[in-house]
Amino acid sequence: MNNNIILTDDGSNSIFNCNIKESYHSRYGAINESQHVFINYGLKFVSKKEIKIFEVGFGTGLNALLSYIYCENHKIKIDYQTIEKFPLKKAYYSPLNFSDQLKIKKNIFTNLHSSKWESKLEISTFFSITKYAQDLNDFKHEFYYDLVYFDAFSPEKQPELWTEKNFKKLYDNLNYNGILITYCAKGLIKRTLKKVGFKIYSFPGPKGKREITQARKI
């Protein structure tokens, strides 16, 4: 993968993938977008003290870092499972400025990245992470989740990930009252989510985006 580090409008970095010509986050603000979509309209909607999360696309680790901060602040336990087909090399993740922007010690972010793939690491009393260096399309889910962060590249760039088959697998591996949250608000994606059984809710998007989609298993 051929990548560039970019600066987004809220002062946080992101990565631009030159092969598919798409950035990992919104150019209006990486932290702003991730916080809005995945934390405010995902994690904050789960009212449990122990939460299992599955993330599609670990990428820069920003969603994991924001989830870590949330669970430390709210004293809830998170078991974070994440999949990534193209893990970023240290040369790309190391300069990212998320820790400075979020005023948190850099070693947490470094630990998220340097933890061994396919094995669980307890980052703190409240947060553990297991990363899978695998392709979502071949992934066999072992667990049931309360929350899915569906953060793949866009359906235009990676239609092979936004499929009925992948959504059905995720639906089947969600607990009742579980939520799948995504930045995508395309009609086709909402219809596909609905087809596999989800109930669809639309919420206002972060800066630069009209709507986002929350899909619930109820």
Ligand X SMILES: C[S@@+](CC[C@H](N)C(=O)[O-])C[C@H]1O[C@@H](n2cnc3c(N)ncnc32)[C@H](O)[C@@H]1O
List residues binding ligand X (CB under 6 A): 24, 34, 57, 59-60, 62-63, 83-86, 135-137, 151-153, 158, 161
* Nearest CB to ligand X, comparing residues 33 and 199: 33
CB of 27 to ligand X, least distance (A): 13
Provide the 8-state DSSP code for 13: E
Q: Are 185 and 212 in contact (CB under 8 A)?
A: yes
CB of 79 to ligand X, least distance (A): 17
What are the CA-CA distances from residue 67 to residues 38, 81, 107, 190 (Å)?
A: 9, 12, 16, 25
* Nearest CB to ligand X, comparing residues 119 and 177: 119
Contacts (Cβ under 8 Å, ≥6 apart) of 205: 36, 37, 183, 185, 211, 212
* Nearest CB to ligand X, comparing residues 60 and 214: 60
Which pair of structure tokens corresponds to residue 52? 């299992």
CB of 152 to ligand X, least distance (A): 5
Q: How far apart are CA 189 and CA 65, in angstroms?
A: 27
* Nearest CB to ligand X, comparing residues 46 and 62: 62
CB of 145 to ligand X, least distance (A): 16
Q: Are 67 and 80 in contact (CB under 8 A)?
A: yes
